[in-house]
Amino acid sequence: MDSLTVDHTYGQALFDAATEHGKVEEIMEEYKAVSDVFKENPQLKRLFLIPTLSALMKRDVAKNVFEGRISTELLNYIYVLIDKRRIGAFDDIRRHYERLVMENDGKLKGVIYSALPLDKDRIEAFEEKMSETLEKKVRLVNKIDKSLIGGIKVYIDGKLFDASVKTRLESIRQRIKI
């Protein structure tokens, strides 16, 4: 639960600052780039998580790696995460920030689960259908769920739309019992 609070608190703070400076999209792109650097260099992120390393030393590393490559606003934000020992939540905060950006633009991001990979046209058809249903622009990412017999499940903004074969069969089973 604490992680959820951290994600929301820091993600909202960054979004508010980015909005104030008119850099919402720029900071989102930079944040993704920093996240990619951490993925490509896991030892760098681990360095920021070492509790015995001082915040000052971690700030120096961040400055050497990122200064001139990202905005001053995002670099200062990274310093805050270092000082408050929240750098471990970096990716979770990014996901919350992206969600805020999409919501602000009247968009929602969701996941469509399927037994097999869906092609681009099929995903776009589901995005269109879900956009009509929710009256907001929806962007879906396809993830494979081997437990699905067939059909799909769509998870958007805390809501689950279940059109899986298993759920349909369960519904039929329930109706037959009555």
Band of the pLDDT at 65, cuts 50, 70, 90? Answer: very high
pLDDT for the residue numbered 106:
80
CA 134-140-145 angle, 5° bins? 115
Which CATH architecture fits 2-102? Orthogonal Bundle (1.10)
**pLDDT (mean) for 67-89:** 95
**Which residue do the tokens 């929710």 mark?**
134
Which residue ranges does the chain devote to CATH 1.10.520.20? 2-102
- pTM metric for this prediction: 0.67
Residue 17, token pair as written in the block: 């600052």
pLDDT in tens, 43-62: 999 999 999 999 999 999 99
User: Which of the four CATH numbers 3.40.50, 3.40.1050, 3.40.1000, 3.40.30 does domain 107-177 have?
Assistant: 3.40.30
Q: Which string of b and e fits 118-145 if b means at least 16 CB within 10 Å? A: beeeebeebbeebbeeeebebebebeee
Question: Which residue did the predictor score with more confidence, 3 or 165?
Answer: 165
Q: What percentage of the chain reaches a pLDDT higher than 70? A: 97
Which residue ranges does the chain devote to CATH 3.40.30? 107-177
Q: What percentage of the chain reaches a pLDDT higher than 90? A: 63
pLDDT for the residue numbered 165:
84
pLDDT for the residue numbered 40:
95
**Which residue do the tokens 């992120």 mark?**
45
Alpha-carbon distance of 26 to 34, in angstroms, equals 12
pLDDT for the residue numbered 31:
95
pLDDT > 90? residue 67:
yes
